[in-house]
Amino acid sequence: MEIVKRTFLRACINHSCLDHDQINKILTPLCDQHQVTKPANQEALHEFAKSIENTIKDLNQSLTFMVHPVTGKEYLVFAITDATPDKQNHPGLTAEECFYFSILLEKLAQQEDCHIAWNEAYSDLDFKGSTKPPKKLRMQTLLQLWTEMGYFLESGDRLYLGPRSIVEFEFYLRSNFADTIKECALCKQLVLWDVKCSDCNTKIHRLCIRKYLRTRSNCPTCGNKWSTRLSQ
C-alpha cells in the first residue's frame, strides 16, 4: 500500500485539486497495478487521504477533502499550510505574473459575496505602476491554469475563490479581509457564500443552518425568526 500512497500523493501534488472522477481515474489503475484493494467507499477514501496527510503534516503540507459551496462538489485539495499569495510558488512565472495572482485573489476577497464577473478578471487591475503587466491573452492562459489547479473556480459567468485558495489561504484571508471574509456563526469555518439571515445579514453555511433549524426556528446570531429560504 505504501507505494500506492506515495504515487497517489505525487498525483495530488501535480494536480493540486481533484474531484472524485479524477481521483477514480488515478486510483483505480494504481490499485490494480499494485494489487491492493481500493478504498471501498467515501469514508474509506477519507481515511486513506488522512493517512497520507499524516506523513506530510510536518512539512507544512496538507491533503484534505472539502465541499465547495458553489458547486456542491467534493474536492481533494493539496495545499501548503503556511502559504501567502505573494510567497506563492509559481515556478517559471515573472514577478508581474505572480502579482496578477495576488491582485485577483485580493479582488475576489474584497467583494461582499467573494465573486466577480469573469471579465473583471481582466479589467480595472492595479499593477501599482508596473511597466510590464501581462497581456490579456497571457492573463487568460494563467487564469485557466490557476483554475485547473483549484485556486479559482468558474461557474456561470462568474469567478469565485476555488477549493485550493479556500484551504491554502484560510489564515491569510481571515486576517486580511475581515470585512468580507466571515466565519460561520455555527461551525466557525470560513463562510463565503451560502445564506444570510434576512434580519442581521449574518452569513451561515446552508447545511449548518438547515441542521440547526431542525430543532429551532430562530437565527443563532440575532435571535429573530429565521425567514431566508434554504432551497437552492
Q: Least distance from C-beta 204 to Zn ion, angstroms?
A: 6
Spatial neighbors of 193 by CB under 8 A, at least 6 apart, are 69, 70, 113, 114, 115, 160, 203
Site for Zn ion contains 186 (CB under 5 A): yes
Task: Kindly tell me which residue out of 133, 153, 205, 212 binds Zn ion, with binding defined by CB under 5 A.
Answer: 205
Task: Kindly tell me which residue out of 22, 64, 81, 221 binds Zn ion, with binding defined by CB under 5 A.
Answer: 221
Contact, 181 vs 166, CB < 8 A? no
Q: Which three cell numbers stand for residue 161?
A: 475563490
# chain residues binding Zn ion, by CB under 5 A:
11
Q: Least distance from C-beta 73 to Zn ion, angstroms?
A: 18
Site for Zn ion contains 176 (CB under 5 A): no
Closer residue to Zn ion in complex, CB, 117/200? 200
Report d(CA 218, CA 57) in Å as an integer: 40
Task: Kindly tell me which residue out of 30, 139, 187, 213 binds Zn ion, with binding defined by CB under 5 A.
Answer: 187
Task: Tell me the CA distances in angstroms from 179 to 79, 111, 114, 184, one per residue in order.
Answer: 25, 9, 11, 14
Task: Kindly tell me which residue out of 97, 154, 183, 199 binds Zn ion, with binding defined by CB under 5 A.
Answer: 199
